Structure 1
Amino acid sequence: MTWPKAITFDCYGTLIDWEGEIQMIFKEILERNGVKNVDVVALQRHWENIQFDYIQNQYMPYKEVLRNTLPMAFNYFGYPFTEEDSRYFAESMGEWRPFPDTIDALLEIKKYTKIALLTNTDDSIIEETVSRIGVDFDEIVTAEQAGAYKANHDGFHLLLKKLNLDKSDILHTGFGFKYDVVPASELGITSCWVNRYGETRPANVKEDYLVGDMKTLALLVKGLASSSINPVRYEG
């Protein structure tokens, strides 16, 4: 690819420890309801599948998605919960913590190109998250703005419009293969899969770049910049 004028990121799972934070909250809810020694990884993965299918339907705010899908996952396993637990889960997302390598990697990448977010969440949630990360993004597009969740293409089109860039100008980076790599491939956008847990590809699609974490992505970007025909140094 030509040197990317922007690297666009999925947020939750790529920059924020989505799985770890959800597992921690589920464990907290279960223990509060008297349930211990539960496989919270299995619970979180089951919830993830429910959530992915749920957001492919008619758009609703993500806080509602969180509030509505927790009971589905807990009921499947017969785990107790309260309505307050569902509300607590829905309100917690803005406080979920970034991976240890996120901030330094973003600051390094910003030296070479623009950075932007394309995220399956609400404006109010991502505002909290970006404040927690503490790094300025050149553009942010949420599902609320697009009126649809990835893997729908609408958010990608809106982000390109806001960045005033062509699809050939960006590198889209994400942890969620179905959410990010697949639609990027469908749109002809160069993709990078941040596969932190060594997962098997869940679809017959191939990413253009594969890294295991954000630190490695920053090294890749620095290496590509140094070997570029027209080396860049972004000061925006």
Structure 2
Amino acid sequence: MAKSLADFKYFTFDVVGTLIDFEGGIKDCLAAIADQARVSVDGEEALALYRAERYSDDADLFPDDLVRVYLAIAPKLGLPAEQAYGERLRDSCKGWKGFPDSAAALQRLSQRYKLIAMTNARRWAFEHFSRELGNPFYAAFTADDTGTEKPDPAFFEHVFAFVANEGGSKDDILHVAQSQYHDIGISRRLGMTNCWIERRHAQKGYGGTIEPKEFTRPDFHFTSMAGLADAVEAVRAA
């Protein structure tokens, strides 16, 4: 049986896709480019092409890799395959928005737990995401800090070492994420308690996130960050 939400000291968070609406950011940027080119782009088709290309063998770190991705998918979408537009997609991440409930929920949770960001994004991009979210994090680990990306267990080991240095253990952590592939499956295999934020609960498919080989049933499951924050407050008030 899962532990109570009141039992944890740390909440670790995936950022892009869980707290930051990267799918909306990518679709908005591609739509703006399409408008300039006087063509139309189907957002879900664009995300499917993005997903397939993003996880190719020659992928670079995120979001720098968006330049390469754009140049690869632009012809399939009828968009101009020009370097400047790829750089525009990459740089658009500086203005990507948090989901409407993210910042407020993080602020509520930060009153009770130490919040740690765990993102496959590079540090320069994370700084923009953190500001968008109200800089709620006690600590943060990026691809630059760990030298790897989730779901590599080595990424998680960096966080375990940080917590251990403070006298804690992975049993003190609830890992919160939307990606079954990057987070939920591997956190279960590593013996962590996890919480799935099912951001695409009203949509079919996995959008811009790679589909896992198998579904992992999470310890906790919410369709929003607000739902998680509400549940924490209800447990602590009981």
TM-score by length of 1: 0.86
- Measured in 1, the distance between the counterparts of 2:163 and 2:94 equals 25
Q: Deviations over 1:56-92 (max 9, x none)?
A: x578432431111122222344543311000111122
User: SS at the partner of 2:65?
Assistant: helix
Gaps of 5+ in 2: 206-210
Aligned counterparts of 1:59 and 1:79: Cα–Cα separation in 2:
21
Q: Which residue of 2 aligns with 1:231?
A: none
How far apart, CA to CA, are the structure 2 residues paired with 1:83 and 1:159? Answer: 36
* Counterparts of 2:46 and 2:132, CA distance in 1: 27
- Between 1:202-211 and 1:8-17, the stretch displaced more is 202-211
- Is 1:188 the counterpart of 2:191 in the alignment? yes
C-alpha distance in 1 between matches for 2:59 and 2:43: 28
**Does residue 176 of structure 1 match 2:201?**
no
**How has the CA–CA distance of structure 1 residues 88 and 6 changed in structure 2, closer, same or farther, with 3 Å as cutoff?**
same
Task: Report how far residue 45 of structure 1 moved.
Answer: 2.7
Question: How many equivalent residue pairs?
Answer: 223
Kept in 2: contact 1:150–1:180 (CA 8 A): yes
Which residue of structure 2 lines up, in the alignment, with residue 31 of structure 1?
35
Matched, 1:162 2:166: no
Does the Cα contact within 8 Å between 2:151 and 2:181 map onto a contact in 1? yes
CA distance in 1, matches of 2:190, 2:76: 36
Alpha-carbon distance in structure 2 between the residues aligned to 1:50 and 1:177: 19
Asked if the contact 1:59–1:148 (Cα under 8 Å) also holds between the matched residues in 2, the reply is no
Percent identity for Structure 1 against Structure 2: 25
Q: Residue by residue, what CA displacement relative to the aligned partner does 1:134-154 show, whole Å, maximum 9, x if unpaired?
A: 133111000111111111122
Cα distance change, pair 145–58 in 1 and its aligned pair in 2 (3 A):
farther
Q: Distance in 2 between matches of 1:63 and 1:212?
A: 25
Residue identity matched to 2:149 = Y
Alignment of 1:1-236 (within 5 A): 1=3, 3-36=7-40, 38-51=41-54, 53-54=55-56, 60-164=60-164, 165-198=168-201, 202=212, 203-227=214-238
Report the 3-state secondary structure (helix = DSSP H, G, I; strand = E; otherwise coil) of the residue aligned with 2:125. helix
CA distance in 2, matches of 1:159, 1:94: 25
- Let me know the Cα RMSD of the aligned residues: 2.0
- The Cα of 1:212 is off from its aligned counterpart by 0.5
Residues 59 and 87 (structure 1), Cα distance of their counterparts in 2 relative to 1, 3 Å cut: closer
Q: CA deviation at 1:184?
A: 0.6
- 2:228 corresponds to which letter in structure 1? L
